[in-house]
């Protein structure tokens, strides 16, 4: 009787893992179809003024490429404002030089000391908004590079989708093994968690997503939530501000931007580790149940089937076919998602290492939450 019960429980667990990975595959395919079909080609040339707002902290190696890509846009009615967030390198010198060369288009402003209760980036972007004159506020990171149609694309799509807030996936450049191991985890939301097509159709604020490498607000939506003041203490300010916009009754959309903006998010393994860890920290702080749920899903659907395969091969278990099905289905979903994002063919094959490493990062990050050590990023510690 005990053996029969145990075998039924084992069968049920294998069946649930197989069914779960099948759901993951379905979600991935639907999101891929949404990302491929929902983006309109740029057509706007002057539908309101756009303020392009760039926070920059110690970005001397990136800021020139970013500014050069934004200075010659097909969209004609725009301004660029760059805020130097108390950099200790040559960022201010470089930005000031561009402001002198392009006085009618680009302004350089100095940041201010970080007030209590604010994160560095949210504070910088709130200060930037005070210098913006546009009908649209387009925030973009200093390490992005834009095609000449990126602003026109953003204006076209925020209007075509009748949205008040727009963001999406830019193309992620991976130039080292460490980056290829860690950075693709940013796509977990669209592979395992969130139906992106539902974001503009649902009024639920939790069904929102954004990537801070490019976000655009209509001014009235930004002012209605008091800008980044509403998420001043959030490290993952992009996701939380999208939720705030939707909670205030405005419309949010998440699209594919990879043909118009690219970014090397982090340089090398350690920076990638710290960068993703700070976002894990922000999502899981004071939410042990949420942390446990996400970790359990990763173990059940991704890690456990991989571990079971050699064991079941050795023992000749009849459950082997379920484990193989789960592994194949998840690998297919993950491969299709990364292929759709333009990544190299071998990057999805790292997924056993990627997800085991993600669990390690999650535990380490959550440990820093519970011990009060916080996360270090850009020479600041977030507690």
pLDDT tens-place string over residues 149-183: 999 999 999 999 999 999 999 999 999 999 999 99
Same domain, yes or no: 129 and 239 = yes
Distance CA 81, CA 63 (A): 12
Same domain, yes or no: 24 and 124 = no
Range of the domain at 76: 40-170+211-265
Identify the residue whose tokens are 């379920």: 322
Same domain, yes or no: 300 and 320 = yes
Q: DSSP 3-state assignment of 380?
A: strand
Highest mean predicted confidence (pLDDT) among 179-183, 280-284, 290-294, 363-367: 179-183
Same domain, yes or no: 228 and 79 = yes
Same domain, yes or no: 253 and 358 = no
CB atoms within 10 A of CB 328: 14
Residue 255 sits in a domain whose CATH number is 3.90.550.10
3: pLDDT confidence band, cut at 50, 70 and 90? very low
- Angle formed by the axes of helices 2-37 and 304-315, to 10°? 130
Identify the residue whose tokens are 């001043």: 232
Q: Is residue 202 part of a domain?
A: no
Contacts of residue 210, defined as CB under 8 A and 6 or more positions apart, other chains included, come to 165, 167, 238, 239, 241, 242, 252, 254
- Of 200, 235, 265, the domain-final residue: 265
Same domain, yes or no: 238 and 91 = yes
Q: Is residue 180 part of a domain?
A: no
Same domain, yes or no: 27 and 143 = no
Q: Is residue 361 part of a domain?
A: yes
In the chain, % of residues over pLDDT 90? 64
- H or E segment and range at residue 276: helix 268-284
Same domain, yes or no: 293 and 260 = no
Query: Can you tell me the mean pLDDT for 188-204?
Result: 91
Query: Can you tell me the mean pLDDT for 63-78?
Result: 96
**Mean pLDDT rounded to a whole number for the chain:** 89
Q: Give 11-22 pLDDT, tens digit per residue.
A: 787 788 889 899
Same domain, yes or no: 296 and 329 = yes
- Of 265, 288, 305, the domain-final residue: 265
Q: Is the pLDDT of residue 2 over 60?
A: no
Q: Is residue 188 part of a domain?
A: no
Q: DSSP 3-state assignment of 33?
A: helix
Are 256 and 172 in contact, with CB atoms under 8 Å apart? no
Q: Is residue 179 part of a domain?
A: no
Same domain, yes or no: 238 and 125 = yes
Same domain, yes or no: 257 and 375 = no
Same domain, yes or no: 62 and 110 = yes
Would you state the pLDDT for residue 382? 64
User: In terms of residues, how long is the chain?
Assistant: 383
Q: Is the pLDDT of residue 217 over 80?
A: yes
Q: Give 104-143 pLDDT, tens digit per residue.
A: 999 999 999 999 889 889 999 999 999 999 999 999 999 9
For β-strands 380-382 and 375-377, DSSP reports them as antiparallel
Distance CA 78, CA 145 (A): 17
Q: For residue 163, report the phi and psi dihedrals to the nearest 5 degrees.
A: -105, 165
Would you state the pLDDT for residue 104? 94
Please count the structural domains in the chain.
2
- Of 238, 265, 292, the domain-final residue: 265
Q: Is residue 203 part of a domain?
A: no
5: pLDDT confidence band, cut at 50, 70 and 90? very low
Query: Can you tell me the mean pLDDT for 188-199?
Result: 89
Q: Is residue 152 part of a domain?
A: yes
Q: Is residue 204 part of a domain?
A: no
Q: Is the pLDDT of residue 45 over 70?
A: no
Would you state the pLDDT for residue 284? 63
CB atoms within 10 A of CB 3: 7
SS (H, E, C) 213-280: CEEEEEHHHHHHCCHHHHHCCCCCHHHHHHHHHHHCCCCEEEEECCCCEEECCCCHHHHHHHHHHHHH
Are 108 and 67 in contact, with CB atoms under 8 Å apart? no
CA angle 317, 321, 324 (to 5 degrees): 115
Beta bridge partners of 380: 377
Would you state the pLDDT for residue 43? 86
């Amino acid at each position: 009787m005990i053996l029969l019960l145990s075998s039924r429980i084992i069968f049920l667990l294998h069946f649930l893992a197989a069914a779960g990975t099948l759901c993951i595959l379905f979600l991935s395919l639907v999101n891929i179809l949404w990302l491929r079909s929902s983006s309109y080609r740029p057509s706007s040339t002057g539908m309101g003024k756009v303020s392009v707002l760039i926070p920059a902290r110690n970005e001397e190696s990136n800021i020139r490429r970013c500014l050069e890509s934004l200075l010659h846009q097909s969209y004609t009615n725009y301004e660029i404002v760059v805020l130097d967030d108390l950099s200790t390198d040559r960022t201010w010198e470089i930005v000031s030089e561009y402001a002198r060369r392009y006085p009618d288009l680009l302004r350089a402003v100095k940041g201010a000391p970080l007030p209590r209760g604010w994160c560095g980036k949210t504070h910088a972007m709130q200060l930037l908004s005070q210098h913006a004159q546009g009908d649209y506020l387009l925030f973009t990171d200093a390490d992005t590079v834009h095609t000449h149609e990126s602003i026109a694309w953003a204006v076209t799509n925020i209007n075509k989708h009748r949205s008040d807030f727009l963001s999406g996936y830019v193309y992620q450049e991976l130039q080292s093994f460490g980056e290829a191991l860690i950075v693709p985890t940013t796509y977990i939301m669209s592979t395992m968690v969130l139906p992106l097509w539902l974001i503009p159709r649902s009024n639920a604020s939790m069904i929102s997503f954004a990537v801070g490498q490019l976000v655009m607000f209509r001014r009235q939506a930004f002012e209605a939530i008091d800008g980044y003041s509403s998420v001043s203490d959030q490290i993952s300010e992009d996701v939380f501000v999208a939720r705030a916009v939707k909670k205030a009754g405005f419309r949010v959309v998440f699209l594919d931007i990879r043909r118009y903006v690219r970014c090397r998010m982090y340089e090398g393994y350690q920076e990638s580790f710290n960068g993703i860890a700070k976002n894990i920290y922000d999502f899981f702080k004071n939410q042990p149940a949420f942390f446990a749920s996400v970790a359990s899903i990763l173990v059940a659907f991704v890690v456990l089937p991989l571990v079971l395969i050699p064991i079941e091969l050795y023992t000749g278990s009849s459950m082997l076919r379920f484990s193989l099905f789960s592994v194949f289905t998840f690998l297919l979903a993950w491969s299709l998602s990364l292929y759709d994002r333009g990544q190299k063919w071998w990057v999805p094959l790292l997924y056993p290492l990627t997800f085991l490493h993600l669990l390690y990062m999650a535990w380490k990050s959550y440990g820093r939450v519970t011990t009060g050590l916080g996360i270090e990023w850009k020479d600041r510690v977030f507690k």
